[in-house]
Structure 1
Amino acid sequence: MYRENKIGIVIPAYNEELLILETLDGMPNYVDKMYVIDDCSKDKTLKLLKERQKIDNRIIIIHHETNKGLGQSLIDGYVKSKEDDIDITAVMAGDNQMHPDDLPALLDKIIDEDYDYVKGNRLLHQNIESMPTYRFLGNSLLTILTKFATGYYFSMDPQCGYTAIKNDVLKNIPIEKMTTGYGYNADILCMLNIQRYTVADVEVRPVYDREKSKIVLWKYIPKTSWILTKLFFRRLWQRYTVLDFHPLVLFYLVAFFNFMFILIPGTIRLFYMYFSTGEFPSTTFNITATTFLITIQLILFAIWMDMDYNKDPKRK
């Protein structure tokens, strides 16, 4: 128990025989439950877990008969935590990449400042240079896209999986519907934003040592970008249309109409007339250029309103 709160840790593990025991050994004594999800590992991960469970009754093993992905592992851990008498559930990877000394910072942010969900931010740490360049660049791109998708514009490093959430909040979001692959981190943020829950970042140290990332970057970024696009439209629909109404939806709608029915046809006609007749269609150009400027303004106003509507009420 940590400051009168029962703490559960969800630990996804896939082929982590090298580091899973170090992860468990480093777990603080105040952690009440460790939900370790073995996602059909092909190595000795499950065997090591069963052996360690005999001497540490805090360990609860959830075994997948088939590989279901990181998102499903987290879902199963969260669901089990909801069933138990836990106050705050955190997530720590099974590859010892998340330093246990940073866990109190996440928990304190929830306990002292009453945030609903707290996530790590490795970009705040002075040791950020240890993050591989390709990860940093990919992280930066996905950070920008995630801001639009989730509405938490002040949040950074959304790919960091070191998180903590109140179980009272966990019980009020459809966590079972979270994406089962990569992109889960943005999905849960989107769920939280729709319900207007508060989110905060805390500094955590980037740890890159013996673990091997299972992310194939050239596949991960396009796939995750598509997921973020869908989350963006889902958030606009559910938060600003179904649960409430905000004019920014109309701004985006008009901008989309302009793009599809004026800008694209106008641009096609512009080039077709120029290359087929050699004449420059000035009327088409003026209409297209004016519509382009109006569309940009609509999008910028919509973004500004979305940012203003999602200001963190706890931030000064």
Structure 2
Amino acid sequence: MPRFSHDTLASGLSLQLSLLEYLMYRNKKVSVVVPAFNEETQINRVIDTMPEWVDHIVIVNDRSRDRTSEVVRANAVYTTGRIQLIEHEVNQGVGGAIATGYKWSRDNGIDVAVVMAGDGQMDPADLPAILDPVVDDEADYTKGNRLVTGEAFQKIPKIRFFGNSILSLLTKIVSGYWHVADSQTGYTAINAQALEAIDWDRMYKRYGQPNDLLVKLNVAGMRVVDVPIEPVYDVGEKSGIRVRKVIFTIGSLLVRLFFWRLKEKYVIRNFHPLVFFYAFGFFGVALSAIMFIRLIALWIGLGHIPEITFLSWLFSFSLGFNSLFFAMWFDYEENKHLNPPLRSRDVRARKRAA
């Protein structure tokens, strides 16, 4: 009979405990919120590929017109009680479905709530990478970033890639999370503290929900980290997004959110002089636009530009540009601690381990 040293036995026991802890996902109770609207052909793929250590799969049927609920109930996992199927009586949009799942997670003692779409576009292999910064207390909220992978431009439809890039740039300014990109991704994880901090009943309920949430998280002082993930397309999904319409809808939402964040964070909760720089900046830009129109009109009417008109335009433009630059710089510095860099980790190794 082979004999083992004390160190060997201790090492084996430690490995067993480590494996057990991993299967429970490091002693954290995890739910995956799945907003679903007309996903009868895709929902089984999401359920069947879900890692075993996910405690609850919270599927929110947002008043689907197909057999989404019937397909979920027919899945073998449903009989285990691991699936929580919530039915909306009125369609609330993807943001409303996510909010419902978040509220269930908050009220049922979930440590980390993840969002994965019901169309199978989110790779379960990326789930450990999404969870780890929250579990390790690096962040209160993590979100996938599809734009940083080398194949993003080839995999993502071009109009979506450019639309997402524009919205991501605007969301940096609006939310205060200057290192966050791919603002429209729905692959996210949020901890219990952030779940408690946000009023989900007042969350924007359509496709602008990720932008709205980032702004609310910033005002609440929550840390946000981007995690590189692989974009997944052409798995049978059918998108209901109309990019041109969404850009204008979310664009107007971003304007409202920007001024709301300035008011809440830098006027009401803790005054900061950057509001003056933003005020001077917007005043200068507006004045320079008026002066530029006058400059063009005089050029056309007189054949030349009076020096005083040109100097007035140059002064107002310089005032506006420099004021906006300093305001954004102050905002960047004020929020740097809420957007920490992702610690070095081998994401591919995490995928293999999963």
Tell me if structure 1 keeps the 8 A contact 2:31–2:58.
Answer: yes
Q: Aligned runs of 1:6-17 on 2, under 5 Å? A: 6-17=29-40
| 1:158 aligns to 2:175 (yes or no) | no
1:192 corresponds to: 217
CA offsets, 1:268-290, max 9 Å, x none? 43344444455633322211221
- Provide the secondary structure at the position in 1 that maps to 2:324: helix
Per the TM alignment, residue 223 of structure 1 is displaced from its structure 2 partner at its CA by: 1.0
- Provide the secondary structure at the position in 1 that maps to 2:189: strand
Amino acid across the alignment from 2:47? L
Amino acid across the alignment from 1:301? F
Amino acid across the alignment from 1:241? V
CA offsets, 1:236-294, max 9 Å, x none? 1111111112211100111222334x324433433444444556333222112211112
CA offsets, 1:86-139, max 9 Å, x none? 110000000111111111111111112431000111123343221222221111
- Provide the secondary structure at the position in 2 that maps to 1:289: helix
Measure the CA separation in 2 of the matches of 1:225 and 1:72: 19
1:94 corresponds to: 118
Amino acid across the alignment from 2:74? E
Measure the CA separation in 2 of the matches of 1:20 and 1:85: 25
Q: Specify every segment of 5 or more residues in structure 1 that has no aligned partner in the other structure, as ranges.
A: none
Matched length: 315
Measure the CA separation in 2 of the matches of 1:55 and 1:112: 33
> RMSD between aligned alpha carbons?
1.8
Tell me if structure 1 keeps the 8 A contact 2:283–2:320.
Answer: no
Per the TM alignment, residue 222 of structure 1 is displaced from its structure 2 partner at its CA by: 1.2
Tell me if structure 2 keeps the 8 A contact 1:16–1:95.
Answer: yes
- Provide the secondary structure at the position in 2 that maps to 1:8: strand
| 1:145 aligns to 2:170 (yes or no) | yes
Given the superposition, is the C-alpha separation of residues 233 and 100 from structure 1 closer, same or farther in structure 2, using an over 3 Å criterion?
Answer: same
Q: 1:263 aligns with which of 259, 278, 288?
A: 288
1:58 corresponds to: 82
| Larger Rg over CA atoms | 2
Amino acid across the alignment from 2:307? S
Measure the CA separation in 2 of the matches of 1:126 and 1:55: 41
Q: 1:119 aligns with which of 138, 143, 147?
A: 143
2:63 corresponds to: 40
Amino acid across the alignment from 1:122? R
Per the TM alignment, residue 34 of structure 1 is displaced from its structure 2 partner at its CA by: 1.4
State which drifts further: 194-203 or 50-59: 50-59
- Provide the secondary structure at the position in 2 that maps to 1:62: strand
| 1:244 aligns to 2:267 (yes or no) | no
State which drifts further: 280-289 or 241-250: 280-289
Tell me if structure 2 keeps the 8 A contact 1:121–1:160.
Answer: yes
Q: Aligned runs of 1:269-308 on 2, under 5 Å? A: 269-276=294-301, 280-308=305-333
Q: Specify every segment of 5 or more residues in structure 2 that has no aligned partner in the other structure, as ranges.
A: 1-23, 344-354
Q: 1:5 aligns with which of 28, 47, 54?
A: 28
Tell me if structure 2 keeps the 8 A contact 1:175–1:188.
Answer: no
Measure the CA separation in 2 of the matches of 1:299 and 1:173: 29
Tell me if structure 2 keeps the 8 A contact 1:11–1:91.
Answer: yes
Per the TM alignment, residue 167 of structure 1 is displaced from its structure 2 partner at its CA by: 1.4
1:103 corresponds to: 127
Q: 1:226 aligns with which of 242, 246, 252?
A: 252
Amino acid across the alignment from 2:73? K
